Amino acid sequence: MTGRLNERCGIVTGAGSGIGAATARRLRQDGARVLTADMRGEVDLLLDVTARDAGKTLTEATMARFGRLDFVVPCAGVSAFCPLAGHSDDYFEQVMAVNVTAVFRLIRDAAPHLCASPAGRIVTIGSVASAFGDAGLVAYGTSKHAVLGMTRALAGELGPHGVTANCVMPGAIDTPMTAPAFAAMPEYRTHWERKAALGRLGRPEDIADVIAFLLSDDARFVTGQEWMVDGGAMTRM
């Protein structure tokens, strides 16, 4: 398969479902060689990204399989609505462990290889909750603000090595993550459909296509940026 990511090699976590699965599919269509990981689903490596050595395991598996590592896309994430009173220490720490610490460890462990690549790329997955807040999202919003901050710092630190780092910030996307909330609160689904200027929820492919662009040569001079992909929802009052 040839395409604009021809022979680029990298890692997509959270690839067993939703945005990560759509991203792995799209990158392969573009000619990339992708090591997929998740705790469930049809992936190359079944693992818990919060394991202390997960970043090292993923990096070593990619080098062993492909001999190079050009990009990382850490899509594995957790989210649920939870009032502040329900934010136990364990809940807060688990959200931070998956959404922040695991992202950090993977990028840190992959960084030497990304720096050795002629076109190293990092695309993190933030959220509209990287820029705005809402009730029930204290832990999640904290984690997604952190991911955006991490991405900006990485852009500064790794830019001199030719590595770009960008943060894609989805709005409401129709995936297994949002399905329980939309099923329990149909009015919440309608709210997001109406709020989006484009009048619908996002699809995983809407996000995957932007990630593919950011990994491509077309985005070679773009780094440290936030890419809100929400159908225009957050542009409206």
Catalytic residues: 140
> Is residue 198 within 8 Å of residue 171, measured between CB atoms?
no
Is 17 a binding residue for ligand NAD by CB under 6 A? The answer is yes
Is 231 a binding residue for ligand NAD by CB under 6 A? The answer is no
Letter for the amino acid at 98? V
Rg (CA), the chain: 17
Q: Quote the tokens at residue 71.
A: 């990009």
Least distance to ligand NAD, CB of residue 36, Å:
10
> Is residue 133 within 8 Å of residue 235, measured between CB atoms?
no
Region of 7 on the Ramachandran plot (φ > 0 left; ψ -120 to 50 alpha; else beta): left
Separation of alpha carbons 23 and 208, rounded Å: 4
**Cα-based distances in Å from 186 to 182, 183, 198:** 5, 6, 19
Q: Are strands 226-229 and 71-74 parallel, antiparallel or unpaired?
A: unpaired
The only residue of 18, 120, 141, 231 in contact with ligand NAD, by rule CB under 6 A: 18
Nearer to ligand NAD, 5 or 12 (CB): 12
Nearer to ligand NAD, 120 or 171 (CB): 171
Nearer to ligand NAD, 78 or 116 (CB): 78
Least distance to ligand NAD, CB of residue 76, Å:
4
**Cα-based distances in Å from 129 to 20, 81, 146, 156, 157:** 18, 12, 10, 23, 24
The stretch near ligand NAD (CB under 6 A) out of 65-73, 77-85, 154-162, 208-216 is 77-85
Site size for ligand NAD (CB under 6 A): 28
Is 100 a binding residue for ligand NAD by CB under 6 A? The answer is no
Which residues, 173 to 202, sit near ligand NAD by CB under 6 A? 173, 175-178
Residues that bind ligand NAD (CB under 6 A): 14, 16-20, 38-41, 48-50, 75-79, 98, 125, 127, 170, 172-173, 175-178
